[in-house]
Amino acid sequence: MRVKVAEHAALFYQDGTVVWDDYLHHRQFAISETAELLCRKFTEFTDVDELLAPLGEADQSALRKVLDELVEAGVLVVEGSPQHEAERRMLSGWRAWGASARHFHFASRTLVDAPYQASDEHDALLDEKLTRDPAPAPFRSVGGPVVPLPRLPEDPSWGSRGLMDVLLSRRTSREFGPGRVPLERVGELLAVLGAPSPARSRIGRTGTVFKTSPSGGGRHPVEIYAHVRGVDGLPPGWHHYDGLAHALEPLGVCWSPAEMAEAAGDQAWVGEAPLVLAYTAVLERTRWRYDTSRAYRVVQMDVGHLSQTAYLVATAMGFGIGFTAALRDELVEQALRCDAYHEVVLGMSAVGPLPE
């Protein structure tokens, strides 16, 4: 019999115990030190009889028992078995993206017996949770001086374009023309993206809020930052957008075009844009309501919804816009004063005049 360690799992240490995390089947269990050391002998298919042959009869018997338990638990895969074939098919689709992508996808994938709560049951649990764990605020301010922005008019001039016209005109722009972005348009764009919806501006008791883009559970974890390089009436540099106050908060960091391009994966077109919007996610907003790993997928979807809204509004305004997720997260985190543990970097939209 030839066996190897399964490639659909990961090991981690917790409270002094080695935990086998089978993310493909959503199983976690502790394994002994002997089992952990034995697994290292089976990083590739290895014949059990040949490996144990040099040992005495007692040692062979003891180790065979451990090996049988590891096979039964799925830690070791027998060559040619149905488990081996299932793993082979999984790796054929996921090996190129690496173990971390496999882990994220399958750990957050729901299985046939995944439990889901009815809405009234979920609401009752949230009511109880509010008594001991207040919900995080749906908006935040970084403090310090603010730059008030022009309000969104009830009937903006760019809003007269038809939906199909805007959808069919939408393009990803990686080249921008000369000129600046008017302050009024920046205020209107940010109001549409990040402020409460004028139609439903009430904030719910658990921190839910309605905006123009959909968000899982109405949590809206996405924060918006604006880097200004060519906007009349705004100081250059990074600003945080406070959606509740509808104001920009200068962060005191100003990037050159080269620095912006470096943070955007060496994409010069991002550095040339007079306005760049960076999107982060305050994870606790979503996590407070949804404590399952699948909710992290929803956070990624949220920025997709929001960036599409930015595409359509900028297009209706007559600007070019392009989104990118090819970022050096650490550089962006340093400028925005966020971290990878609580507020994660998601992507950027570069906005500017269309080329002539």
Instruction: Tell me the C-alpha distance between 282 and 191, whole Å.
Output: 19
Question: Is 240 in the same domain as 212?
Answer: yes
Q: Note the pLDDT tens digit of each residue in 333-345.
A: 999 999 999 999 9
Residues 258 and 285 in one domain: yes
CA distance 216 to 221: 9
**CB-CB contact of 221 with 233 (8 Å):** no
Q: Name the residue type at position 207.
A: G
Sheet strand arrangement including 17-22: 10-14, 17-22, 27-31
Is the domain of 96 the same as that of 158?
A: no
- Statement to judge: residues 96 and 133 lie in one domain: no
CATH, residue 84: 3.90.930
The amino acid at residue 221 is P
Query: Count of H helices and E strands in the chain?
Result: 13, 13
Is 112 inside a domain boundary?
Answer: no
Amino acid 356: pLDDT: 83
Say yes or no: 87 and 235 in one domain.
no
145 and 28 housed in the same domain:
no
- What is the CA angle 147-152-157, rounded to 5? 130
Same domain, 228 and 269: yes
124 and 213 co-located in one domain: yes
Q: Say whether both 81 and 143 belong to one domain.
A: no
Cα dist from 166 to 160, 171, 309, whole Å: 10, 10, 11
Domains in the chain: how many in total? Answer: 2
Q: Based on the fold, state whether residues 216 and 167 are members of the same structural domain.
A: yes
Residues 190 and 304 occupy one common structural domain: yes
The tens place of each residue's pLDDT in the chain, 356 residues long, gives 999 999 999 999 999 999 999 999 999 999 998 899 999 999 999 999 999 999 999 999 999 999 999 999 999 999 999 999 999 999 999 999 999 999 999 999 999 998 899 999 999 999 999 999 999 999 999 999 999 999 999 999 999 999 999 999 999 999 999 999 999 999 999 999 999 999 998 999 999 999 999 999 999 999 999 999 999 899 999 999 999 999 999 999 999 999 999 999 999 999 999 999 999 999 999 999 998 999 999 999 999 999 999 999 999 999 999 999 999 999 999 999 999 999 999 999 999 999 98
User: Is 264 a member of any domain?
Assistant: yes
Rounded to whole angstroms, the Cα distance separating 70 from 74 reads 6
Q: Express each pLDDT in 263-297 by its tens digit.
A: 999 999 999 999 999 999 999 999 999 989 999 99
Looking at the fold, whether 53 and 179 belong to one and the same domain comes out as no
| Residue 149, in any domain of the structure | yes
Question: Within 53-182, where are the H helices?
Answer: 57-73, 82-94, 98-107, 119-130, 163-169
Domain housing 90: 2-107
Given 48, 81, 107, the domain boundary residue is 107
**Strand-pair category, 247-250 with 147-148:** antiparallel
DSSP 197: B
pTM beyond 0.85: the answer is yes
